[in-house]
């Protein structure tokens, strides 16, 4: 039967950690501790979705960060510099990630709805395994536990925007057609991951990195500010190739119903 059999979900900003603050704040802290170089929260968000070593590398290549680095050291960032920042980042992230393990509003109910439709729940993350081993049980204790998970350093080819983590979910879950899978993410590299894996890709414009607000900030925003931020986030996700963009995971069942209708007519991603 041509229908969605599995969803593959990102973590921070998609299922837990509204606004994706756990990783971004730690990048800022790691740069400061390792080399006394300042990066802003907005800069730290730009490469979100990549593996964390690759994220640091991309962050160092941003013109604004590179200019500060060059002014301080008279040279561009090296692989050794990235290693030192990563070594600083990891223990900070492992210690902090459990504080951002609460499921985003609507996630637990959405997962229950999907499971009632016999849809399997996969997941993957830009977090390395050492971080995921802390995050998984903390999230499970608060009501969210996917059927499987893959960390960015689990597979030799690498992480996003390549398809490998998404495809490992397909293998683990036993799904026979990638066109019967939906990849959901709040950042561009994760959308590209789904596209490269041959899946339907759904972007989340409000709950995650591109919107970039805490739940409390979001709740206090004016409708105009929400609309402006949503529009900007959606544009980035559509530009990355998203087939659909919705506010949060709570809207996913409606998207899947639409995809199922398209599959029934013979459409593919």
| Residue 1 belongs to a domain | no
Token pair belonging to 245: 């963009």
pTM for the predicted model, two decimal places:
0.93
| Residue 269 belongs to a domain | no
Both 111 and 194 in one domain: the answer is: yes
Can you give the pLDDT at residue 118? 97
| Residue 82 belongs to a domain | yes
CA 136, 248, 252, 175 dihedral sign is negative
CA distance 1 to 38: 53
Both 45 and 110 in one domain: the answer is: no
Both 154 and 179 in one domain: the answer is: yes
- DSSP conformational letter for 198: T
Summarised one tens digit per residue, pLDDT across range 112-170 is 999 999 999 999 999 999 999 999 999 999 999 999 999 999 998 889 999 999 999 99
How many separate domains does the chain show? 2
| Residue 240 belongs to a domain | yes
Structural domain boundaries enclosing 72: 21-98
Both 30 and 15 in one domain: the answer is: no
Both 197 and 255 in one domain: the answer is: yes
Both 184 and 128 in one domain: the answer is: yes
Both 197 and 181 in one domain: the answer is: yes
| Residue 120 belongs to a domain | yes
Can you give the pLDDT at residue 156? 82
* H or E element at residue 30: helix 21-35
What is the CB neighbour count within 10 angstroms for residue 75? Answer: 9
| Residue 80 belongs to a domain | yes
**CATH number, domain containing residue 257:** 3.40.50.1000
**CATH number, domain containing residue 67:** 1.10.150.240
Both 51 and 153 in one domain: the answer is: no
Per run of 10 residues, the mean pLDDT along the chain (length 269 residues) is 95 96 92 96 92 94 97 96 96 94 97 98 95 97 98 90 97 98 97 98 96 96 97 98 98 98 96
Can you give the pLDDT at residue 131? 95
| Residue 122 belongs to a domain | yes
Can you give the pLDDT at residue 84? 97
Q: Where are the beta strands (DSSP E) in 186-236?
A: 200-204
**Of 77, 98, 119, which marks where a domain is finished?**
98
Can you give the pLDDT at residue 127? 93
| Residue 110 belongs to a domain | yes
Both 93 and 60 in one domain: the answer is: yes
**Of 57, 80, 98, which marks where a domain is finished?**
98
Both 37 and 165 in one domain: the answer is: no
Is 36 labeled as catalytic in the residue annotation? no
Both 63 and 118 in one domain: the answer is: no
Q: Which of 2, 17, 38, 52 is catalytic?
A: 52
**Of 82, 98, 114, which marks where a domain is finished?**
98
- Dihedral angle at the C-alpha atoms of 123, 125, 128, 132, nearest 10 degrees? -50
Can you give the pLDDT at residue 158? 81
Both 134 and 252 in one domain: the answer is: yes
Q: Which of 10, 81, 185, 247 is catalytic?
A: 10
Can you give the pLDDT at residue 116? 98
Is 265 labeled as catalytic in the residue annotation? no
């Amino acid at each position: 039967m041509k229908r969605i059999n599995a969803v593959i979900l990102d973590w921070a900003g998609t299922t837990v950690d509204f606004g994706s603050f756990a990783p971004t704040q730690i990048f800022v802290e790691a740069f400061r501790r390792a080399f006394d170089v300042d990066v802003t929260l907005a800069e730290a968000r730009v490469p979100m979705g990549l593996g964390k070593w690759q994220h640091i590398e991309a962050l160092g290549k941003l013109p604004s960060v590179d200019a500060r680095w060059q002014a301080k050291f008279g040279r561009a960032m090296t692989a050794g510099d990235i290693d030192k920042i990563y070594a600083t980042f990891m223990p900070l992230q492992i210690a902090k990630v459990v504080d951002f393990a609460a499921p985003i509003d609507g996630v637990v109910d959405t997962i229950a709805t999907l499971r009632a439709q016999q849809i399997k729940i996969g997941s993957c993350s830009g977090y390395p395994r050492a971080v995921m081993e802390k995050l998984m049980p903390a999230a499970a204790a608060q009501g969210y536990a996917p059927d499987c998970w893959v960390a960015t350093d689990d597979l030799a080819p690498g992480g996003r925007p390549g398809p490998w983590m998404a495809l490992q979910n397909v293998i683990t879950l036993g799904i026979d057609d990638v066109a019967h899978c939906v990849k959901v993410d709040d950042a561009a590299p994760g959308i590209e991951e789904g596209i490269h894996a041959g899946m339907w890709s759904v972007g989340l414009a409000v709950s995650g990195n591109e919107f970039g607000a805490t739940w409390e900030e979001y709740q206090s925003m004016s409708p105009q500010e929400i609309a402006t931020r949503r529009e900007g986030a959606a544009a980035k996700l559509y530009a990355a190739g998203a087939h659909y963009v919705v506010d949060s995971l709570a809207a996913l069942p409606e998207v899947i119903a639409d995809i199922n209708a398209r599959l029934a007519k013979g459409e593919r991603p």
